[in-house]
Amino acid sequence: MSTPETALLLKTILDANSSLVLDEVLDNAAGNIAAAVGLDDCGVFLVNEEGNRCTMVGKAQHSQETVLPLDSGPIKDMVASGKPLIIEDAHKHWPFPPELRPPDFDIKSLLILPMNIRGRLLGFAAVVSLDRRVRFHPHQVDLAVGIAQAVALAVDNTQLFSQQRQNGVIDERNRLAQDMHDGLAQQLATLIYQLEAVKVLTGSRPTQAKKLLDKALETAGQSLEEARRSVWEKLPEPLEVSSLPDAVGNELEQLVAETNIAVTLTGAGVRTRLTKQVKRSLWLIFQEALGNIRRHAQADRISVDLSFVDDSVDLILIDNGHGFDPQVEHAGHGLSGMRRRAAALGGSCRIESHPGRGTMVAIKIPIGVHKVAG
């Protein structure tokens, strides 16, 4: 390979890896491929999701944007063989249906280079001559094939980056949705409960109604703060000022103050410092389970156990409420979200319930890999 050809191949590699914007990568590639065979026109096509046609997405100068089928004879053979398609007389051997011949200019010669990655066709580059018939020399074709493969690698990287970025957006949306449901939604449900109680008590017991109204305003403020914390991935406020066991105890005390539910809180083992991720997830699972008891169970007795045993943290909630069938997804219960949070930490979420016989929620999170040093 001569020095100019080596320089062109190096330039293509540098251009292809200088951007993660697909249009920029392909427009640069089109010019470099055209230069490799001494022509000034090239179009780069990518395969659609169905795999039956290619759409031009990058071009050098005069190429017109178009869509080309992959099932015509010569193109189909090129795709199957993985070898370039060389057409020195495009008048006699046009590889596409006649209606796809460009009306605005006359293609005299055509070189089509497949771009494959791991046995998969990403697309192809089509280099054209408009002013003369061209005899493509083998070393020109080899150089163009090498450049096309470098472009294919860049296209693959760009597509992977785009997919990862999209996945990141989806993951973030899912995180926010889950946080809103597990945290903010529970506080808003509590707020509704408090305001309904205020409505009932306003006429007959105004002093108690005022206390509940003040509490409702406090809950509304906490809900606003929880929304902000979800956006910035901060710990819920109770965990900023208290340990997980103390925050659980405080939440249960508030439940007792606002309802007629009797609560028992137990624990065992030596408290272990947990990472923010573990504390946050356990707290949100606890809030979800407690919110279900408050809204759905109609229980009058709850027992909660939070223990640190055998290199794990175990959270168990048992109520004597109505119960339900845990095999059936119940709207508003958030059972799948609880299971996802536990599974994301390598743990488990077991839910046992029967209609008329109460419910048990048991969470086990291994903390050997989630401990905070020191």
- Out of 3.30.450.40, 3.90.1150.10, 3.30.1280.10, 3.20.20.70, select the CATH number for domain 3-165: 3.30.450.40
Judge contact between 35 and 8, C-beta under 8 A. yes
Q: In what order do the strands lie in the sheet with 85-87?
A: 67-69, 53-59, 41-47, 120-129, 109-117, 85-87
Residue 304: per-residue pLDDT: 96
Residue 329: per-residue pLDDT: 66
Domain ranges of the chain: 3-165, 238-374
Q: Please give the DSSP secondary-structure letter assigned to residue 98.
A: G
Kindly list the averaged pLDDT for each block of 10 residues, start to end, along the chain of length 374. Answer: 52 54 68 74 79 70 66 80 85 80 78 82 82 80 79 74 59 56 62 74 80 75 60 60 88 87 91 84 88 86 92 93 80 74 89 91 80 44
pLDDT per residue as tens digits for the range 310-321 = 889 999 999 999
Residue 207: per-residue pLDDT: 82
- Can you give the pTM of this predicted structure? 0.43
Residue 296: per-residue pLDDT: 84
Domains 3-165 and 238-374 share a fold: no
Angle between helices 138-179 and 22-36 (to 10 degrees): 180
pLDDT per residue as tens digits for the range 145-194 = 877 777 777 777 776 766 665 655 455 555 555 555 555 566 666 777 67
Residue 374: per-residue pLDDT: 38
Q: What's domain 238-374's superfamily in CATH?
A: Histidine kinase-like ATPase, C-terminal domain (3.30.565.10)
Q: Which helix (H) or strand (E) element contains residue 46?
A: strand 41-47
Residue 201: per-residue pLDDT: 79
